[in-house]
């Protein structure tokens, strides 16, 4: 059976075979001609120069422009010194749930006096003999007059220097307590880490000897004069009258 349908034919290029056929007002158009027409239309649109249209005169009433609510430009700045000062910023509602930070008080060292302290595995007490070296490496001996300790376990001592005599051995060879006498007393405490323990001794051992420096009497008897007022009986006062 022979079909009566005619084969399509492109009205532009007269092609009779195409993968896709498009129908136009003139007739059937093949796929190649359709693509070529589409590319020409795009190029014509791109190459057309844009002409700015003149604004049309407004004949109606003018609308009021919206005023900005920002007032930061009214604050006093370097470029606008005559503006009003910026008002203080208030606190928000979140401040209720925030805890204010409190500054810790500054630590104050408090010292405690005692008759003995535990230092380097042994007890050091008042009256002990210690040695100290100066910057030149010379050794000097002293007797502990008082011991101090703070809350940070920093231990220090107040000393009384001991003066050697002619019969005293050289300080590098050793210490002989019978050949030393009391020297000046220090009021500023020194740390125990700069002292070396020598020996134990009574606190009043060197006070019995002659010393060129006066010592302070802890009992205070030298500052008072003790006396007794006479008591008269009543009969003696009448006879005198």
Based on the domain organization, do 37 and 116 belong to the same domain? no
- The DSSP secondary structure of 197-226, one letter per residue, reads EEE---TTTGGGS--SSPPPPTT-GGG---
> Is the residue at 178 inside a domain?
yes
38 within 8 A of 23, measured Cβ to Cβ: no
> Is the residue at 4 inside a domain?
no
Per-residue pLDDT of the chain (241 residues; tens, 9 = 90+): 444 556 777 877 877 777 777 777 777 878 788 888 887 777 777 665 665 555 666 665 666 666 555 545 555 666 666 766 666 677 777 777 777 777 777 777 788 888 889 988 889 999 999 999 998 889 999 999 999 998 888 899 999 999 998 999 999 999 998 889 888 989 889 999 999 999 988 888 877 555 555 555 544 444 455 555 665 555 554 455 5
Based on the domain organization, do 198 and 120 belong to the same domain? yes
CA-nearest of 134, 145, 146, 219 to 182 is 145
CATH number, residue 123: 2.30.30.490
Q: How many domains does the chain contain in total?
A: 2
> Is the residue at 137 inside a domain?
yes
> For residue 185, which phi and psi values (nearest 5 degrees)?
-100, 140
Based on the domain organization, do 122 and 201 belong to the same domain? yes
What's the confidence (pLDDT) of residue 222? 47
What is the span of the domain harbouring residue 141?
111-208
Q: Cα 163 to chain center, whole Å?
A: 48
Euclidean distance between CA atoms 111 and 124, whole angstroms: 17
> Is the residue at 82 inside a domain?
no
- Looking from the CA of 174 toward its CB, the CA atoms found within 13 Å total 6
C-alpha dihedral sign at 66, 67, 72, 76: positive
> Is the residue at 1 inside a domain?
no
5 three-class SS: coil
What's the confidence (pLDDT) of residue 1? 42
> Is the residue at 40 inside a domain?
yes
Tokens of 9: 């034919």
159 within 8 A of 130, measured Cβ to Cβ: yes
> Is the residue at 186 inside a domain?
yes
Cut 0.85: pTM above it:
no
> Is the residue at 96 inside a domain?
no
Alpha helices in the chain (DSSP H): 31-47, 234-240
206 three-class SS: helix
Euclidean distance between CA atoms 223 and 201, whole angstroms: 28
Q: Cα 31 to chain center, whole Å?
A: 80
């Amino acid at each position: 059976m022979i079909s009566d349908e005619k084969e399509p034919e492109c009205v532009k290029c007269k092609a009779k075979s195409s993968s896709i056929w498009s129908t136009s007002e003139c007739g059937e158009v093949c796929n190649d001609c359709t693509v070529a027409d589409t590319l020409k239309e795009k190029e014509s649109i791109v190459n057309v120069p844009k002409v700015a249209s003149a604004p049309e005169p407004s004949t109606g009433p003018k609308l009021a422009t919206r005023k900005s609510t920002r007032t930061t430009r009214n604050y006093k700045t370097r470029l606008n010194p005559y503006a009003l000062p910026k008002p203080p910023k208030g606190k928000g509602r979140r401040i209720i749930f925030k805890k204010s930070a409190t500054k810790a008080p500054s630590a104050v060292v408090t010292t405690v006096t005692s008759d003995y302290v535990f230092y380097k595995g042994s007890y050091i007490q008042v009256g002990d003999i210690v040695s100290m070296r100066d910057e030149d490496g010379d050794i000097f001996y002293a007797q502990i007059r008082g011991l101090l300790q703070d809350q940070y376990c920093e231990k220090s001592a107040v000393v009384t220097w001991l003066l050697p005599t002619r019969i005293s051995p050289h300080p590098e060879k050793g210490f002989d307590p019978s050949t030393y006498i009391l020297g000046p007393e220090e009021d500023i405490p020194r740390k125990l880490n700069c002292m070396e323990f020598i020996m134990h001794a009574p606190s009043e051992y060197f006070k019995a000897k002659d010393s060129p420096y006066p010592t302070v009497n802890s009992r205070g008897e030298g500052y008072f004069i003790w006396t007794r007022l006479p008591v008269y009986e009543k009969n003696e006062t009448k006879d005198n009258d």
